[in-house]
Structure 1
Amino acid sequence: MQHDHDLTVTLQPHPVSPLVLTVAGDLDHHTVPRLRAALDDLTLAPGAGLVIDLSGLTFCDSTGISALVSAHQRAQDAGAALALAGLDPEIIRVFRIMGLDRLFSFHDTAEKAIASLQ
């Protein structure tokens, strides 16, 4: 099976808050630097919110999961809130097995995640 390791990470500036980072494609050890770079470019202020929209995610390996965990850690350190949106039920199952459902809040859509952080 040919993997082209395509991943797009797009920041949608939101009129008020929170920021919405849309991640689409395969999130694996080849593409995770793109997500880390996008996250490093974000300025998270106390009370701010960040939604990572994963509805376009087709694959996520352990490096992808650890990048999301470090995004959560960074948001926490900054006093900002982070929510994940649009996760595939299969990926949510993996997060639950790893106990990460205690770390993250999951929402069906980016809109619901935005509403939860406002």
Structure 2
Amino acid sequence: MQATVTDHRCDVAVLHLKGELDSETFEKLRSTLAELLERPVPRIVVDLTDLKFCDSVGLSAFITSKQVITARGGWLSFAGASPFLVRLLETVGLSRYFAIFRDVDDAIAAAQL
């Protein structure tokens, strides 16, 4: 899995994930999220457009990060999830816990409301 971060308007970090997120690639996600969590008020959109697979280890990293982010007054949302990932998030009940947007621009626009 590849993870790249770009900063967009409104102090929003976009974390773009590419490939497969599993126990072998989890550490890359964890370290990238840890860097983003050092921001005073983390605002993160996770771009899932190019993520082909995610297992429970990846989901746990998002859940743990969201707890820290929420405590600091920030937010974490998803954008561009494939039908597979949307079903996965719905099946495990995380679609109620995370906002899921069609694309990054929609997620950033929602943050400005």
TM (norm. structure 2) is: 0.90
Q: Report the Cα offset of residue 36 of structure 1.
A: 0.5
Q: Residue deviations 1:35-94, cap 9 Å, x none?
A: 000011113334x52111111101111111111111211211211011101111111111
How many residues of Structure 1 are paired with residues of Structure 2 in the alignment?
Answer: 111
Q: 1:109 aligns with which of 103, 106, 110?
A: 103
Tell me, yes or no, if the aligned pair for 1:26 and 1:58 is still in contact at 8 Å: yes
Give unmatched runs, 5+ long, in structure 1: 1-6
Identity of aligned residues (%): 34
Q: Residue deviations 1:7-33, cap 9 Å, x none?
A: 111010224321111111100000010
> C-alpha distance in 1, partners of 2:46/2:39?
13
Q: 1:45 aligns with which of 31, 40, 43?
A: 40
Tell me, yes or no, if the aligned pair for 1:23 and 1:53 is still in contact at 8 Å: yes
Runs of 4+ in 1 over 3 A off after TM superposition: none
- The alignment's C-alpha RMSD in Å is 1.3
Give unmatched runs, 5+ long, in structure 2: none
> C-alpha distance in 2, partners of 1:16/1:99?
29
**Partner SS for 1:102:** coil
> C-alpha distance in 1, partners of 2:105/2:19?
20
